[in-house]
Amino acid sequence: MTETRRNYVNGEWVESETGETIDVENPADPSVTVARYQQSNESDAADAVDAAASAQDEWANTPGPERGRILREAGTLLAQRKEELTDMLVAEEGKARPEAAGEVQRAIDIFHYFSTKAADLGGTVKGASGRGTNLYTRKEPVGVAALITPWNYPIAIPAWKLAPALAAGNTVVLKPASLAPGVALELAKALDEAGLPDGVLNVVTGPGSEVGSEFIGNDAVDAVSFTGSGQVGEMVYDQATDAGKRAQTELGGKNPTVVASSADPAEAAEIVASGGFGTTGQSCTACSRAIVHEDVKDEFVAELADRAESIDIGPGNEHEMGPQVSAGERDSTLEYIEVAENEGATLVAGGGVPEGDEVEEGHFVEPTVFTDVDPDMRIAQEEVFGPVVAVIEVSDFEEGIEVANGVEYGLSASVVTDDHTEANRFLEEAEAGVVKVNEKTTGLELHVPFGGFKRSSSETWREQGDAGLEFYTIEKTVYDNY
């Protein structure tokens, strides 16, 4: 019997007013319904905001070390359930098991990291101009934070928004993506068992057009953090800022890896394959453009095609690369493959749906490589969000940087080179919020800032590390004339 999961509002597990539910299917076998979730509406979302607003003062006045203790205990509970959470993530999102386990571990690490930060939150003491005055600053919570998160990292992204928000003393309403909401509800379960007071966290499942819009527009919400597509994110940002709210958006990417003439083609192909085909290409930091010097291009393409064709595709529990999350995502990727061929790109690997009993029913796509790609083609300009890499040939390093920067996104970028001067030039000139040398575009440390340039971000506040706390705090300056 399929389990029906409830919303978490004001410390209780409750059904939606609509009485309707959402079925989440296993993307490796859509005939299997993994779980049912509440198909909530604006009224459900408003109830969640009311609960968060009512709990705000008490939570803000809770000492930082006590808030940290709850976060630490929640992280410990998540660690105890790591296998269970990994199973759930694989079943709902389709990610290969090692990737899913790594994502769950990241959520655990995030909670433990911010548990220590909660005790360190404070201000600075300054010297006053006159005698008899203490002059200092205080960091205080913004208030009620609305978090809207995507399906591709369904536990890590909620964790890296939620943990700093709670550590700083904010209350939270969270809307996880409807395609894979289960692990986000497990965060609420762990925090509830760890002793989080009622109303401090509220999780409501349902469509963004109703639940998300109410979160953003509700007068009691003070800050909105959104991760998702550029088109939706820009609307979210406009709606939130028009209402005078603090807003943070992290959006798409069209991430390049520049392969210099000094690079080892086999090493470069391994870096690009890992960045482009890992997580089935469903990462905002995935490498979708390999910008390759003409001297190493042929050998690089041969190596990359070999890696693409050798990847073991199938259900995530047993195979190296899992399915795309939905039929819609798979069809979108296949459409981009067709567009690339029609525009004149040359298909050298993949390009279709794999064959075999294990992949017959799921949303699988072959790892795909194109060459003869012009920088102006759609495959080189638009985010595909699938396991597709476009190889663009350039004649020198300057052209490589120009092509890398020649898109409207600027999230992550890497260079593969043995030339230290080229590496430094790339770090200085690449228009991206994350730049790497001799590494894949994917993979982030949790204690340093993350965010993009240009259309990849609102370019307001960064996420993760100390920077992640900045969005959720506001500074007060105190003049204490004693």
| Mean pLDDT, rounded, for 61-66 | 96
* pLDDT, position 2: 82
* pLDDT, position 3: 82
| Mean pLDDT, rounded, for 135-148 | 97
Q: Does residue 39 have a pLDDT over 90?
A: yes
CATH number of the domain encompassing residue 120: 3.40.605.10
Q: Does 128 share its domain with 70?
A: yes
Query: pLDDT digits over 229-282, tens only?
Result: 988 999 999 999 999 999 999 999 999 999 999 999 999 999 999 999 999 999
Q: How confident is the model at residue 482 (pLDDT cuts 50, 70, 90)?
A: confident
452 assigned to some structural domain:
no
Q: How confident is the model at residue 47 (pLDDT cuts 50, 70, 90)?
A: very high
User: Rounded to an integer, what distance in angstroms lies between the CA atom of residue 106 and that of residue 225?
Assistant: 19
Residues of the chain with pLDDT > 90: what percent?
97
Q: Does 399 share its domain with 289?
A: yes
Q: Does 278 share its domain with 204?
A: no
The number of folded domains in the chain is: 2
Q: Does 428 share its domain with 475?
A: no
Q: Does 319 share its domain with 388?
A: yes
Say if CB 65 and CB 291 are below 8 A apart. Answer: no
Q: Does 300 share its domain with 220?
A: no
447 assigned to some structural domain:
no
Phi first, then psi: give them for residue 53, nearest 5 degrees. -65, -40
Say if CB 419 and CB 427 are below 8 A apart. Answer: no
Overall pTM > 0.75: yes
| Mean pLDDT, rounded, for 467-472 | 95
Q: Does residue 366 have a pLDDT over 90?
A: yes
225 assigned to some structural domain:
yes
Say if CB 4 and CB 36 are below 8 A apart. Answer: yes
Q: Does residue 11 have a pLDDT over 80?
A: yes
* pLDDT, position 44: 98
| Mean pLDDT, rounded, for 82-88 | 98
| Mean pLDDT, rounded, for 209-222 | 97
| Mean pLDDT, rounded, for 66-80 | 98
CA distances to 159, 247, 301, 400 from 153, rounded to whole Å, are 10, 21, 30, 30
Q: Does 406 share its domain with 279?
A: yes
How many other C-beta atoms lie within 10 A of the C-beta of residue 185? 23
Q: Does 207 share its domain with 263?
A: no
Secondary structure of 323-385 as H, E, C letters: CCCCHHHHHHHHHHHHHHHHCCCEEEECCCCCCCHHHCCCCCCCCEEEECCCCCCHHHHCCCC
What residues act catalytically? 284
Query: pLDDT digits over 304-334, tens only?
Result: 999 999 999 999 999 999 999 999 999 999 9
Q: Does 131 share its domain with 198?
A: yes
Q: Does 208 share its domain with 282?
A: no
* pLDDT, position 1: 67
Q: Does 46 share its domain with 185?
A: yes
* pLDDT, position 453: 97
442 assigned to some structural domain:
no
CATH number of the domain encompassing residue 321: 3.40.309.10
Q: Does 186 share its domain with 227?
A: yes
126 assigned to some structural domain:
yes
| Mean pLDDT, rounded, for 77-81 | 98
Q: Does residue 164 have a pLDDT over 80?
A: yes
What is the DSSP pairing of strand 287-293 with strand 388-394?
Answer: parallel
| Average pLDDT of the residues of the chain | 97
Phi first, then psi: give them for residue 376, nearest 5 degrees. -90, -5
Residues making up the chain, counted from first to last: 482
Q: Which residue range forms the structural domain that includes residue 24?
A: 7-251+457-481
Ranking 116-125, 322-331, 388-397 by mean pLDDT, the lowest is 116-125
